[in-house]
Amino acid sequence: MKRIGIICKAGRPEPPEILRDFLPWLKERGLEVYLDIETAKAMGIRGYPRPEIPPAVEVVVVLGGDGTMLGVARLVCEKGIPILGVNLGGLGFITEVYKEELYDVMDSILNGRCPTQERMMLSACVHRRGEKIADYTVLNDIVINKGALARIIDLETYINKSYVALFKADGLIASTPTGSTAYSLSAGGPILYPTIDSIVLTPICSHTLTNRPIVLPDDSLIEVTLRSKTEDVFLTLDGQVGFNLREADCVEIKRSQFKTTLLMPCERDYFQVLRSKLKWAER
């Protein structure tokens, strides 16, 4: 490995503090570092626009929280570059490394001792009057939800061309296993082991109480058509990117051709993460 990218959560004081020692440590080991331009500017050194980093590097280190990781996952997925997440945020389900572990974990990566794990992603295409007008890739979830002042919305849903239901609800979540511990979990969805190939479809505050979350095979084609006249309905991608939907718009959801490759810290398992983050077995 000769080239490494570093992307940090903007506006946080911790990344420059960490990087003052970490950058010289990397350069001593012969690595060329590509630092995002926002963080570099705060440190008074040269940086690179984020879209220019993936084509130039072999691995990306993310200093931030899960939100920063989600943005980087979408940025690098087409290149298949592995990502190491260093948690400076809150829960940190996919940023599993603590800053105190950074040097030991990085040494394992440089010596080829840190395993990787692939996570499936989803694609969302918006069709309006027979024309595709938007196309997205996500790691966590695709959400169709109403705005603050909108009433319950009607979502006509088909899976593999078979009619499922007209969901009358605040919205609908399509989640990957990685995203099953995010919005879907708070809406009553199940936790899925992150390497399982499947999709969770979770209604949000459904008017019909028997509308429950369902786990689908990863090759499922989900089509959701907005049947409400309100203009206050949004498609939200990974909780970060929004798109305004209109009546009769169809959102097509399926497994993406791309994957996110995570560098996993050694000697840590998913159940340890659940115990730590969700406080399992605590009273």
Residues with catalytic roles = 66
Please tell me the distance from the alpha carbon of residue 226 to that of residue 212, in angstroms, as a whole number: 19
Give, as one character, the DSSP assignment of residue 149. T
SS3 108: helix
Helix (H, G, I), strand (E, B) or coil at 145: strand
Residue 165: count other Cβ atoms within 10 Å of its Cβ: 16
For residues 173 and 204, the answer to whether their CB atoms sit within 8 Å is yes
Query: Is the separation of the CB atoms in 157 and 164 below 8 Å?
Result: yes
Q: What is the DSSP letter of 79?
A: G
**b/e sequence 251-273, b meaning 16+ C-beta within 10 Å:** bbbbbbebbbbbbbbeeeebeeb
3-state secondary structure of 140: coil
Question: Residue 63 corresponds to which amino acid?
Answer: L
Tokens linked to 163 = 């009619």
> Cα–Cα–Cα angle for 240, 243, 247, nearest 5°?
145
